[in-house]
Amino acid sequence: MTTRNACLALDAEDSLAPLRQQFALPQGVIYLDGNSLGARPVAALARAQQVIEQEWGNGLIRSWNSAGWRALSERLGDRLAGLIGAGAGEVVVTDTTSINLFKVLSAALQVQNLRAPGRRVIVTESSNFPTDLYIAEGLAEMLQQGYSLRLVDSPEELPQAIDQDTAVVMLTHVNYKTGHMHDMQATTALIHECGALAIWDLAHSAGAVPVDLKQAGADYAIGCTYKYLNGGPGSQAFAWVAPALVDLVKQPLSGWFGHARQFDMESRYEPSSGIARYLCGTQPITSLAMVECGLDIFAQTDMASLRRKSLALTDLFIELVEQRCGAHGLTLITPREHARRGSHVSFEHPQGYAVIQALIARGVIGDYREPRIMRFGFTPLYTSFTEVWDAVQILGEILDQKTWDQAQFQVRNSVT
């Protein structure tokens, strides 16, 4: 079994280790939930203070111009683009992942109505993140044009599920439960062979694994900035559309920020060209501005380095859990194969919820997902090898001592 000293040695030679200083993490906590809410960049506080005191308080309405608020969604999109293989002018940071999925899925269905009318099936996975399923369901019902969802229960079933009726295939690149990662390029090629369009949800990918949307030939992508990108609680989501598709149709949430001439205040909508047509209403600026602090840290490294460390961390965690806790009925549900693994690791355990609560009480923060899934995120920007070792030790003690059996750990919170 890898020793704690060996982990200390790995940390000592880790070229990414100094980046941790740019995060404000509480004492006594091993944070393995950056896949759900990223840690706070130290700089975020000063940035928010600047927005609130200077830009809002002193600049007031003038800051829409002078502080660049009007262009902020697009400017942040440009900064984020490099992390996902998109180009400048192709990404906006705005609204929520749910809303952005509604926009791109609506657009994709319209494009298919032009190109391949009659296709009425949206293929996705039953294990896709629930809000993605709900949004597709809501859109299909709303349209009353015969659209339906076809859910597959495993990635292996995808090839058979995509056929001549398939308008769109909508997949989350890294599964929120299992950490399984699709081969984006191969899957997109498969989707295109069947004449369908590919929407990729990058919620658990952006900033976590290398993504190259253009290389993969993707059509649409959406994702989240509050997980691995460390944008802050609930920070705005992003949307990307392949340049060849973006101007073909309007998305239906046609608010004034997407208008070609917003402040001409015309009574008819005319979409901006390019990704700006995916903007809608006025964005909460303080939260949006802090997204940049997370991106500033990514600008100091590269996704290849982050991926190397991410895989080393998840490899180590799997190895140690299986060695230290092997007797306790944990089942790994995350792929061992590197090419199929994102940046979090999940184990099933019959008492998964209570074990996670007991871990949190000991300062090891992971999270729980129905059913029975204990989920641990590894963020190479701020997670050390020694933390992985310590977390597994504590997990082992909790399982050995059945600490999870205490009543306090069985009480369900409203957010799990």
Which active-site residues does the annotation give? Answer: 129, 201, 226-227, 375
Q: Compute the least distance from the CB of residue 308 to a copy of itself, in Å.
A: 25
For residues 121 and 165, is the Cβ–Cβ distance under 8 A?
yes
Exactly one of 87, 192, 247, 256 binds a copy of itself (CB under 8 A); that residue is 256
For 160-172, b/e burial (b = at least 16 CB within 10 A) is ebbeebbbbbbbb
Measured over all CA atoms, what is the biggest interatomic distance in the chain, rounded to whole angstroms?
69
DSSP state of 116: S
Q: Compute the least distance from the CB of residue 222 to a copy of itself, in Å.
A: 11
Residue 44 sits in the site that holds a copy of itself (CB under 8 A): yes
Which residue lies nearer to a copy of itself by CB, 53 or 193? Answer: 53
**Interface of this chain with a copy of itself, residues 317 to 356, rule: CB under 8 A:** none
What is the per-residue DSSP string for 300-332?
TS-HHHHHHHHHHHHHHHHHHHHHHSGGG--EE
Tell me how far apart the alpha carbons of residues 148 and 122 are, in angstroms, rounded to a whole number: 6
Ranges of beta strands (E only) in 183-241 are 197-201, 220-223, 238-241
Exactly one of 64, 157, 308, 335 binds a copy of itself (CB under 8 A); that residue is 64
Which residue lies nearer to a copy of itself by CB, 66 or 401? Answer: 66
Exactly one of 112, 172, 178, 287 binds a copy of itself (CB under 8 A); that residue is 287
Exactly one of 84, 91, 99, 388 binds a copy of itself (CB under 8 A); that residue is 99
**Interface of this chain with a copy of itself, residues 153 to 192, rule: CB under 8 A:** none
Tell me how far apart the alpha carbons of residues 288 and 387 are, in angstroms, rounded to a whole number: 31
Exactly one of 1, 8, 9, 58 binds a copy of itself (CB under 8 A); that residue is 58
Region binding a copy of itself by CB under 8 A among candidate stretches 59-67, 324-332, 378-386, 389-397: 59-67
414: exposed, middle or buried (C-beta count within 10 Å: 0-12, 13-18, 19+)?
Answer: exposed
Q: Residue 316: which of 385, 366, 364, 374 has the closest Cα? A: 385
Q: Compute the least distance from the CB of residue 291 to a copy of itself, in Å.
A: 9
Q: Compute the least distance from the CB of residue 137 to a copy of itself, in Å.
A: 5
At residue 100's C-alpha, the angle toward residues 118 and 376, to 5°, is: 115
Q: Compute the least distance from the CB of residue 189 to a copy of itself, in Å.
A: 27
**Interface of this chain with a copy of itself, residues 9 to 38, rule: CB under 8 A:** 24-26, 29, 31, 33, 36-37
Q: Residue 37: which of 313, 232, 304 has the closest Cα? A: 232
Q: Compute the least distance from the CB of residue 115 to a copy of itself, in Å.
A: 17
Q: Compute the least distance from the CB of residue 85 to a copy of itself, in Å.
A: 24
Ranges of beta strands (E only) in 102-214 are 121-125, 148-152, 166-172, 197-201
Exactly one of 3, 114, 156, 268 binds a copy of itself (CB under 8 A); that residue is 268
Q: How many residues bind a copy of itself (CB under 8 A)?
A: 96
173: exposed, middle or buried (C-beta count within 10 Å: 0-12, 13-18, 19+)?
Answer: buried
**Interface of this chain with a copy of itself, residues 371 to 410, rule: CB under 8 A:** none
Peptide bond into 371 cis (omega under 30): yes
Interface characters, 118-157, with a copy of itself (x: CB under 8 A): --------x--xxx-xxx-xxx-xxxxx-----x------
